[in-house]
Amino acid sequence: MLTVPAALSKVPEVTLFFWLIKMMSTTVGETAADFLNVNLGFGLSLTSLTAGCLLAVLLLAQMRAQRYIPALYWSTVVMVSIFGTLITDNFTDASGIPLLFSIIMFSSALILTFMLWHRSEGTLSIHSITTPAREAFYWAAILFTFALGTAVGDGLAEGLNLGYLPSALVFGGAIALVALVWKGLRLNTVLCFWLAYILTRPLGASCGDLLAQPVNNGGFGIGIVEINLLFLASIAALVGYLTLAERAAD
């Protein structure tokens, strides 16, 4: 596997902080999309357009940056999470496309992205994101994982009527299984990373719905606004810590 010094990569090291922020960003992606669409009355089309424009601005800034900047990188991830959720919502709610079809379509798009990425660059390792081409493949893959994760999560929680808590337990267990297989059987690190990355999307969404949805819908009834504020504050605190750590390392 091709590796490069961490300082040269445009993405963060995969640590506990990485997974904590990633999962919270998926929760924000789920709840923020619902908040803008339903609570503020933006509607699905305007919400999607707004999120798409913000994502384009952040992606441009991220691609033009010369190094990994924690605040910029994670802001982009949060917006990808929101936009990825909206892509699936548009297919399901606006166009009436079945979730199974969305799962097949996004899975195919993700596999194709990986194939083109590997054919072009010879590696799928996130530790080698040092060129514009690799970064473009990386963010395309990230977007498809969020869209796919949303479809899988919705399909399990709603299509099979499993509910939010059982769904969260299923996806949490699946991530734990990937970690055990990686640790115990030494399964390919890159494969395990992307499997875990996909699964954290429906896990975060299930946790977000579980916390925010009313009690009579199977949730804890904390509320969308409160969950968004709590998780955004937590992300900001962790990103602030990582930024200070980056500066101290320089």
- Residue predicted with more confidence, 184 or 161: 184
Residue type at 150 in one-letter notation: T
Q: Could you tell me if 90 and 150 are in contact, meaning their C-beta atoms sit under 8 angstroms apart?
A: no
Residue 164: closest CA among 214, 92, 219, 225: 219
Judged by DSSP in three states, 215 sits in: helix
pLDDT at position 237 is 95
Compute the C-alpha angle 80/219/84, nearest 5°: 15
Residue type at 59 in one-letter notation: L
Domain ranges of the chain: 6-249
pLDDT band at 190 (very low <50, low <70, confident <90, very high): confident
Task: Mention every residue, 6+ apart, whose C-beta is less than 8 A from residue 110.
Answer: 141, 144, 145, 148, 198
Among 7-21, 51-65, 115-129, 149-163, the minimum mean pLDDT is found in 149-163
Q: Could you tell me if 219 and 211 are in contact, meaning their C-beta atoms sit under 8 angstroms apart?
A: yes
For the chain, what percent of residues have pLDDT higher than 90? 39
pLDDT band at 77 (very low <50, low <70, confident <90, very high): very high
The end-to-end CA distance of the chain, in Å, is: 27
Among 50-59, 73-82, 176-185, 240-249, the minimum mean pLDDT is found in 240-249
Task: Mention every residue, 6+ apart, whose C-beta is less than 8 A from residue 141.
Answer: 110, 113, 114, 117, 194
pLDDT at residue 127 is higher than 60: yes
pLDDT at residue 74 is higher than 70: yes
Residue type at 208 in one-letter notation: G
pLDDT at position 159 is 67
**Each residue's pLDDT tens digit, 202-234:** 888 788 878 887 888 778 888 878 888 888 899
pLDDT band at 5 (very low <50, low <70, confident <90, very high): very low
pLDDT band at 162 (very low <50, low <70, confident <90, very high): confident
The number of angstroms, rounded, from the C-alpha of 242 to the middle of its chain's C-alpha atoms is: 19
pLDDT band at 8 (very low <50, low <70, confident <90, very high): low
* Residue 196 in tokens: 């875990």
In whole angstroms, give the CA distance from residue 60 to residue 49: 17
The pLDDT mean for the chain works out to: 86
In whole angstroms, give the CA distance from residue 107 to residue 102: 8
Residue 47: closest CA among 60, 31, 34, 28: 34
Which residue stretches of 13-42 are H helix? 16-34
Instruction: Find the mean pLDDT for residues 98-104.
Output: 91
Instruction: Find the mean pLDDT for residues 167-174.
Output: 90
Task: Mention every residue, 6+ apart, whose C-beta is less than 8 A from residue 204.
Answer: 22, 23, 24, 25, 26, 27, 29, 30
In whole angstroms, give the CA distance from residue 51 to residue 46: 8
In whole angstroms, give the CA distance from residue 100 to residue 96: 12
